[in-house]
Amino acid sequence: MINEIDEVLRSLVKSDVIQGADVEIVFDAPTRDWASRRNTPTLDMYLYDIREDTRRRSVGMVDQRNDEGVVVDRTSLPRYFKLAYLISAWTQRPEDEHRLLSSVLACFMKYEVAPDEMMTPLLAEQKVPVGLQIAYPPPEDRQVSDVWSSLGGDLKPSIDLVVTVPMIPESLYEIAQAVMKPMRLRSFAQVTVEGEDPERHLRDPDGSLV
């Protein structure tokens, strides 16, 4: 599912930010060694943190119905995860990097959820919106400066993008199929009779209906 989110972000940035310019979009870790090998304008979207949004966790099941509206199985409710991306621009001039970051901000400020036309077939099939939060203050235990330090790179301007994605557990619970045939009754007394819905009548031994 994470690779699907990568494709959504790549498509959105290509359409609204790059717009045909000669800028490469990558998802690499911006280490010092990586940075020394960059020789083309690059926009890096590094996924550095994944955690569940426990506030949105819920318990229950979702019914799956066939074309006739009959419940055939049940699946667990989706769980929501927050993917944190560190977005940085790499060019020969700081001014160009700032211009790229400004375009990224303007792009993601327009969307609270990923637009439908950018969704991959798998994400569109879930019919659950993918949330976007740009430049929100990170949690106390997740500082951007710590990310740069752990990567061994030099601190530079960057933008924090958090994508909230639903993930459905791969658990499927089959249920007993509904009985669609008419009910048959069989009664034992002095005389045994059989009947089918909707006519379930018993007869007395003299032949009269009960």
Element (H, E) at 195: strand 193-196
> Do 130 and 90 belong together in one domain?
yes
What does the block give as tokens for 142? Answer: 């997740």
Whether residues 125 and 21 fall in one domain: yes
Q: Give the Cβ contact number of residue 90 at 10 Å.
A: 21
Together in a domain, 50 and 150: yes
Number of domains into which the chain is organized: 2
**In terms of domains, do 82 and 45 share one?**
yes
Parent domain of 197: 181-210
- 90 with 189, same domain? no
CA-based torsion, 130, 150, 29, 104: positive or negative: positive
Same domain, 31 and 104: yes
- Would you tell me how many other CB atoms lie within 10 Å of the CB of residue 79? 16
Instruction: Give the least confident one: 44-48, 125-129, 142-146, 153-157.
Output: 142-146
Q: Report how far residue 161's alpha carbon sits from residue 136's, in angstroms, rounded to the nearest whole number.
A: 8
- Beta-carbon count within 10 A of 8 CB: 19
Mean pLDDT score across all residues of the chain: 81
- What band does 200 get if pLDDT is binned at 50, 70 and 90? very low
Q: Is the pLDDT of residue 115 over 80?
A: yes
